[in-house]
Amino acid sequence: MNLKSLPNFLLICLVLLVTSCSQPPVFIEHQTLSRIGDRPEWAAKDWNDEDWDERKAVLESGEVYWTRTPIDILKVSKPLHPYAIRPYIYGEYEVFWDGVMIGKNGNPGQEEALGPEGEMLTTFIIPSHLTEVGKHMLAIRSSIYYFPDHVGMSVDIANYDDLLTERLIETSYMHIFAGAFLIASIYFLFLFLSNKKEYPMLIFSISCFLFFVLNLAEFITTYVPIHYAYHHIRLETKAALMFGISFLIPLYFSMQFPYPKRKFSLLVYAGVLFFIFFIKHNFLDFTTRNMAISMWVFSFGIVVYAVYKRKKGASLVVMSLLLSLLINFVTSFNIGLFVGFSLILLGMFYLLSHRIKEQRLAYETSLVQSTRLRLELLKKNIQPHFLMNTLTSLIDWIEEAPKKGVLFIEALAKEFDLFNQIENQTLIPIAQEIELCRTHLEIMEYRKEINYSWEEEGIDIAQKIPPGILHTLLENGITHSLPLDDNSIKFKLVFESNNDYICYTFLTFAANENEKQEINNRKEGTGLKYIKARLTESYQEQWDLTSVPTNHGWKNTIKIYS
Which pLDDT score is estimated for 2?
47
- CB of 73 within 8 A of CB of 132? yes
**Cα-based angle 397, 400, 402 (whole degrees, multiple of 5):** 65
Contact between residue 47 and residue 93 where contact means Cβ atoms under 8 Å apart: no
Query: Phi first, then psi: what are they for 561, rounded to 5°?
Result: -85, 145
In this prediction, residue 375 carries a pLDDT of 55
Angstrom distance (rounded) from CA 558 to CA 12: 53
Per-position pLDDT tens, the chain of length 562: 444 454 554 455 555 544 444 456 788 889 999 999 999 999 999 999 988 998 888 888 889 999 999 999 988 888 888 999 999 888 999 999 999 999 999 999 898 888 889 888 899 999 988 989 999 999 999 999 988 888 888 888 888 988 888 888 888 888 888 888 899 899 889 988 887 778 888 998 999 899 899 988 888 888 888 888 888 888 889 889 999 999 999 999 998 888 898 999 999 999 999 999 888 777 777 888 889 899 999 999 999 999 998 888 888 888 888 888 888 777 776 677 777 888 888 888 888 777 777 767 766 665 556 556 555 555 555 555 555 556 566 566 566 666 666 666 777 667 767 776 776 677 889 998 898 888 888 877 877 788 889 999 999 888 998 888 888 888 888 888 888 888 889 999 999 988 888 999 999 998 865 544 444 444 556 677 778 878 887 887 788 999 888 888 889 999 998 7
Widest CA span of the chain, in angstroms?
130
Residue 49 CB neighbours (<10 A): 18
Residue partners of 492: CB distance under 8 A and separation at least 6 = 454, 455, 456, 457, 506, 507, 509
* Alpha-carbon span 359 to 16, nearest angstrom: 34
Give me the pLDDT at residue 495, please: 93
pLDDT of amino acid 397: 57
Residue type, 39: R
Strand 124-125's sheet: what is its strand order? 124-125, 83-89, 153-159
Beta pairing class for 92-97 and 134-143: antiparallel
Q: What is the 3-state secondary structure (H, E, C) of 57-94?
A: CCCCCCCEEEEEEEEEECCCCECCECEEEEEEECCEEE
Distance between CA atoms of 37 and 210, rounded to whole angstroms? 44
Strand segments (E) across 354-472: 428-429, 451-457, 464-465
Residue-level pLDDT at 350: 83
- Residues 222 and 168: their CA atoms lie apart, in Å, by 7
Looking at residue 515, what is its pLDDT? Answer: 47
Of 486, 410, 403, 471, nearest to 441 by C-alpha is: 471
pLDDT of residue 93: 94
